[in-house]
A and B are shown apart, each in its own frame.
Chain A
Amino acid sequence: MQNATLKQLAEALASKAASSEELAQDYLTRINALNPDLNAFITIDADKSLNEARAADARRAQGQAGLLTGVPLAHKDIFVAEGWRSTCGSKILSNFVSPYDATVVARCKTAGLVNLGKLNCDEFAMGSSNENSAYGVVKNPWDRLAVPGGSSGGSAAAVAARMVPAATGTDTGGSIRQPASFCGITGIKPTYGIVSRYGMVAYASSFDQGGPMAQTAEDCALLLNVMAGFDELDSTSLERAPEDYTRELDTPLAGLRIGLPKEYFAEGLDGEVAAAVLAAVEEYKKLGATVVDVSLPRTRMAIPTYYILAPAEASSNLSRFDGVRYGHRAAEYTDLNDMYEKSRSEGFGEEVKRRILTGAYVLSHGYYDAYYLKAQKVRRLIAEDFQRAFEVCDVIMGPAAPTAAFDLGSRASDPLQMYLEDVYTLSPNLAGLPAMSVPAGFTRTGRPIGLQVVGNYFSEAKMLGLAHQYQQVTNWHQQAPVL
């Protein structure tokens, strides 16, 4: 059962081979055994989880179970959940218990999925290594010396370590794909506006997008069916007819045109990663795909563009954490400004402060036009690059990250070096495009490598289908770390 997929667990529940309570108990046992070492979870509450599991069993007994009723998962701590401590990986929310459910959490609940806890992440989803969490680093289950990636590092590590069969993640500049790649699992960031952001604590509102992280593309499709859908509580949610994201899982790949952007295979890309990605592309050729060279000429501009716009939004989004109504408040202060300064200085970590300051700076009077406005223009140009590429190809492939997982602490002191980690993942967020990471091999030292797939708007079903087809002929996604 340990390596079971969502689909297999759903079948086991349907055939009564297992009860939801048994599954929850088994996973909680494994979580309790592994978490002290891996630190993938921030909050575990066995009573709450088991109650949800028993409710799911009762529902099944009444004949009202859906496909995933009783299947366990866990939520990135960026999603608030009613009655659960919801910290966003930050000290400033260390005492915050949410009185309401994020839409994603509510939709999972409605489907009968059982919440096994809240997963560690970089503070407010800012980071590429999960080293920015106020609740300690997460270790990569494949190699305890390596980072799991970030910001959804807890989600990726938990799925890789089989502490949960699947998890929710959020992706603002690669936060689902890069940790999925580092931990050897599958994860997809959908088109902006597909998954509601209500209750998904905002880092950079115009980039943030929730998505599923699991062992297989098929599981991602099943979980995305639950997570996605129009939500009137989120004004940026897209009002579209509901989709079945599993509908193209069995679509043959003959005639699929894969675009390889030359900028994604340029200087800075690790040789082993390049080789694994190109080998995956060869696999696709065997499945009937053709390959075309494309160009995304503004790829290099993605990093400065993103690191102007995302901090700008973050600087404003994080203003509500002021110690007035909830969250951390300094013990002693002399006046109102002193309370703000001390509470926020104590409550936020270094990287969050760095981005708030950067963001406030680029929005300041006299700098707005030169930074924020210019970056918005470049953002449009980057989106246009993709549309030009999609005139000659159906999907774009490349590496999810320039290297496999790096060592804990190796880049923590150099934020610029850390930002370079996001070079391949940022552009889809700038353009609002769907993108995913699919396990595609390992380095000689046994660290996973991910293949990034970028599709055009609303092509999630096609992307999940072509990833599924690849997973029928490869077994990278079935590898599990020995723990």
Chain B
Amino acid sequence: MQWEVVIGLEVHVQLNTKSKIFSGSSTAFGAAPNAQANAFDIALPGVLPVLNREAVEKAIRFGLAIGAKVNRTSIFARKNYFYPDLPKGYQISQFELPIVEGGTLAIQVGDQEKVVELTRAHLEEDAGKSLHEDFHGMSGIDLNRAGTPLLEIVSEPVMRSSAEASAYGKALHSLVTWLDMCDGNMQEGSFRMDANVSVRPKGETKLGTRCEVKNVNSFKFLEKAIDFEVRRQIELIEDGGKVVQETRLYDPDRDETRSMRSKEDAHDYRYFPDPDLLPLQVSEAWIERVQAGLPELPQALKTRFMADYALPLADASQLSGNKAVASFFETAVKTLGGEGKLVANWVLGEVMAQLNREEKSIDASPVTPQQLAGLLKRISDNTISSKIAKDVFAAMWAGEGEADAIIDAKGLKQITDTGAIEAVIEDVLANNAAMVAEYKAGKEKAFNALVGQCMKASKGKANPAQVNALLKQKLDA
């Protein structure tokens, strides 16, 4: 039987506000346990929540960026359950009326583009952390994270492969960091993904029973967890079994998902509107102000890069995945005055490779976009070859100065004088009679070897195109 995979993602995005969503405590990561938990965060008797405007503004920004409906009135509700790291015994969340509804996000899988519909995004507070190690049979509770603002972003079940799910995750990650609403740090839990996975026979329109897979904290693990879960469900059904709706935990060490709790022991959360908070009203003026402050978005940038600089989709999409990379690229192109494809090749090639090797972000690149443009100018005006340019780039990276200075100092200027190149060719032909004979006998490969010899003889400085043309002329004469 042919199976179709159906995936929807729920992503908890930690908003990078200075203070918590309902209290004035700091949200900074890594403080001593409970150092950032005030009277509200530990739920002392009598304390009340006060909503953080900045968190709301970030949610509005997200809603506008994905073309969603930003609800002018939304409601905070209480989700009731007992757990030691949930001090109030309820989580303040949004249930029936979330702040953001609908919207879409374009994703890229290979060279295919796909639009993913979103269901909703709602504001809520994070819980604290329970620490079960190091306490000799007891549990430690750290409430520093309790009350950190989250935007829970829920997609429709429209993804059809782990690759699509991962592409969606990446596009969303890119967008929320682009919008400066989340630091994107997955190790610290700033961007947490849960996947709802089900399978159904191809052609079937009804959804299969889904499982929610938790604890996937990287895109790689997301793909692996989904792949495992899909295999598990298909095998189960093909063996005559039934998928049970449940929450499953991904274990990256064993690359498998394990049952955490089934629907039967799911809580009745007894949601109801939080009487301590009035309905959240968002004015037209507020929305207009946020709209006016929105940066150019990745999707728009991608389209513009393709139009303005004649870039292929793959390049444009990669460059627009990160705001700093996009800005580096565009600064270099503008300094150079064109040659978008050449710049794209270098940014995505040499620059990224060096950054990855040294685990640096593009903001920390020792070669500025202006300096890169200076180097590429010498390729396009034939002063140096692309091969030599790589050496110059390495020297620039090492801090040896501007491209022109390095080219001069090292005498790397390309030889374009016909007479000088011809002299090199004469020498090579005289010293490589055997290769010449092979070429004349019809072995095309021998020609390339002779070109190589010429380049070597010129220490790489001879213009390769000229070498090619002149060599051919001489041999075929």
Question: Which A residues have a C-beta under 8 Å from some C-beta of B?
Answer: 79-80, 86, 88, 93, 96, 98-100, 102, 197-202, 204-206, 232-236, 312-313, 315-316, 319-322, 324-326, 336, 340, 360, 363-365, 368, 372
Beta-carbon contacts under 8 Å, B80-110 to A: 80, 82, 84, 87-90
- B45 adjacent to A80 (CB under 8 Å): yes
Question: Which B residues have a C-beta under 8 Å from some C-beta of A?
Answer: 39, 42-51, 78, 80, 82, 84, 87-90, 141, 268, 270-272, 275-278
- A320 adjacent to B88 (CB under 8 Å): yes
- B84 adjacent to A336 (CB under 8 Å): yes
- Give 28 pairs: A residue, B residue, CB < 8 Å, sorted on A: A86-B45, A93-B45, A98-B45, A99-B44, A199-B46, A199-B47, A205-B275, A206-B275, A233-B50, A234-B48, A235-B48, A235-B50, A236-B276, A236-B277, A315-B80, A315-B270, A316-B78, A316-B89, A316-B90, A319-B80, A319-B88, A320-B87, A324-B87, A325-B43, A340-B82, A364-B268, A364-B270, A368-B272
Shortest distance between the CB of B246 and any CB in chain A (Å): 18
Given contacts A313-B275, A324-B141, A363-B272, contact A80 B46 (CB under 8 A): yes
- A235 adjacent to B278 (CB under 8 Å): yes
Q: Which 4 A-B pairs have the closest CB atoms?
A: A319-B89, A205-B275, A363-B270, A206-B275
- B46 adjacent to A235 (CB under 8 Å): no
The CA-CA distance from A365 to B90 in the complex, in Å, is 16
- B48 adjacent to A96 (CB under 8 Å): no
Shortest distance between the CB of A369 and any CB in chain B (Å): 12
The CA-CA distance from A312 to B80 in the complex, in Å, is 11
The CA-CA distance from A99 to B39 in the complex, in Å, is 8
The CA-CA distance from A80 to B44 in the complex, in Å, is 10
Q: Which residues of A contact B141 (CB under 8 A)?
A: 324-325
Shortest distance between the CB of A347 and any CB in chain B (Å): 13
Shortest distance between the CB of B443 and any CB in chain A (Å): 81
Given contacts A235-B276, A324-B84, A325-B87, contact A100 B44 (CB under 8 A): yes
The CA-CA distance from A86 to B46 in the complex, in Å, is 10
Could you list 19 further interchain pairs (A-B, Cβ under 8 angstroms) beyond the known A201-B45, A233-B50, A320-B88?
A: A98-B44, A98-B45, A197-B48, A199-B46, A199-B47, A201-B46, A205-B276, A235-B48, A235-B50, A236-B275, A236-B278, A315-B80, A316-B270, A319-B80, A320-B89, A322-B84, A325-B43, A360-B270, A363-B270
The CA-CA distance from A85 to B46 in the complex, in Å, is 14
Q: Which residues of B contact A316 (CB under 8 A)?
A: 78, 80, 89-90, 270, 272
User: Residue on A with the closest CB to B43?
Assistant: A320
- B49 adjacent to A235 (CB under 8 Å): yes
- B39 adjacent to A100 (CB under 8 Å): yes
The CA-CA distance from A22 to B25 in the complex, in Å, is 43
Q: Which residues of A contact B89 (CB under 8 A)?
A: 316, 319-320, 322
- A319 adjacent to B90 (CB under 8 Å): yes
The CA-CA distance from A233 to B48 in the complex, in Å, is 7
Q: Which residues of A contact B47 (CB under 8 A)?
A: 198-199
User: Residue on A with the closest CB to B37?
Assistant: A325
Shortest distance between the CB of A210 and any CB in chain B (Å): 11
The CA-CA distance from A79 to B51 in the complex, in Å, is 23
- A235 adjacent to B39 (CB under 8 Å): no
Q: Which residues of B contact A202 (CB under 8 A)?
A: 46, 276
The CA-CA distance from A315 to B51 in the complex, in Å, is 23
User: Residue on A with the closest CB to B81?
Assistant: A319
- B277 adjacent to A372 (CB under 8 Å): no
The CA-CA distance from A98 to B44 in the complex, in Å, is 8
The CA-CA distance from A80 to B45 in the complex, in Å, is 8
Shortest distance between the CB of A479 and any CB in chain B (Å): 35
User: Residue on B with the closest CB to A78?
Assistant: B46
Shortest distance between the CB of A122 and any CB in chain B (Å): 16
Q: Which residues of A contact B278 (CB under 8 A)?
A: 235-236
Q: Which residues of A contact B88 (CB under 8 A)?
A: 319-320
The CA-CA distance from A313 to B272 in the complex, in Å, is 9
User: Residue on A with the closest CB to B22?
Assistant: A235
Q: Which residues of A contact B48 (CB under 8 A)?
A: 197-198, 233-235
The CA-CA distance from A267 to B86 in the complex, in Å, is 48
The CA-CA distance from A197 to B278 in the complex, in Å, is 14
Q: Which residues of A contact B43 (CB under 8 A)?
A: 320, 325
- A235 adjacent to B51 (CB under 8 Å): yes
Q: Which residues of B contact A205 (CB under 8 A)?
A: 275-276
Most buried by B among A312, A319, A340, A363: A319
Shortest distance between the CB of A356 and any CB in chain B (Å): 11
Most buried by A among B46, B50, B272: B46
The CA-CA distance from A319 to B82 in the complex, in Å, is 8
Q: Which residues of A contact B272 (CB under 8 A)?
A: 312-313, 316, 363, 368, 372
Q: Which residues of B contact A325 (CB under 8 A)?
A: 42-43, 87, 141
Q: Which of A200, A313, A365, A368 contacts B46 (CB 8 A)?
A: A200
Most buried by B among A198, A204, A322: A322
The CA-CA distance from A199 to B303 in the complex, in Å, is 55
Shortest distance between the CB of B93 and any CB in chain A (Å): 13
Shortest distance between the CB of A351 and any CB in chain B (Å): 18
Q: Which residues of B contact A199 (CB under 8 A)?
A: 46-47
The CA-CA distance from A223 to B184 in the complex, in Å, is 52
- B90 adjacent to A235 (CB under 8 Å): no
The CA-CA distance from A88 to B46 in the complex, in Å, is 10
The CA-CA distance from A336 to B82 in the complex, in Å, is 10
The CA-CA distance from A365 to B272 in the complex, in Å, is 11
Shortest distance between the CB of A399 and any CB in chain B (Å): 29
The CA-CA distance from A364 to B43 in the complex, in Å, is 24
Shortest distance between the CB of A453 and any CB in chain B (Å): 26
The CA-CA distance from A349 to B20 in the complex, in Å, is 35
The CA-CA distance from A100 to B275 in the complex, in Å, is 23
The CA-CA distance from A175 to B357 in the complex, in Å, is 71
Q: Which residues of B contact A206 (CB under 8 A)?
A: 275
The CA-CA distance from A336 to B14 in the complex, in Å, is 29
The CA-CA distance from A368 to B95 in the complex, in Å, is 14
User: Residue on B with the closest CB to A320?
Assistant: B43
Shortest distance between the CB of B277 and any CB in chain A (Å): 5
Q: Which residues of B contact A80 (CB under 8 A)?
A: 44-46
The CA-CA distance from A102 to B44 in the complex, in Å, is 11
Q: Which residues of B contact A368 (CB under 8 A)?
A: 270-272
- A326 adjacent to B46 (CB under 8 Å): no
The CA-CA distance from A342 to B272 in the complex, in Å, is 26
The CA-CA distance from A363 to B43 in the complex, in Å, is 22
Shortest distance between the CB of B368 and any CB in chain A (Å): 47
The CA-CA distance from A325 to B90 in the complex, in Å, is 15
Q: Which residues of A contact B270 (CB under 8 A)?
A: 315-316, 360, 363-365, 368
Q: Which residues of B contact A98 (CB under 8 A)?
A: 44-46
Most buried by B among A79, A197, A200, A316: A316
User: Residue on B with the closest CB to A360?
Assistant: B270
Q: Which residues of A contact B82 (CB under 8 A)?
A: 319, 322, 340
User: Residue on B with the closest CB to A339?
Assistant: B84
Most buried by A among B42, B44, B51, B268: B44
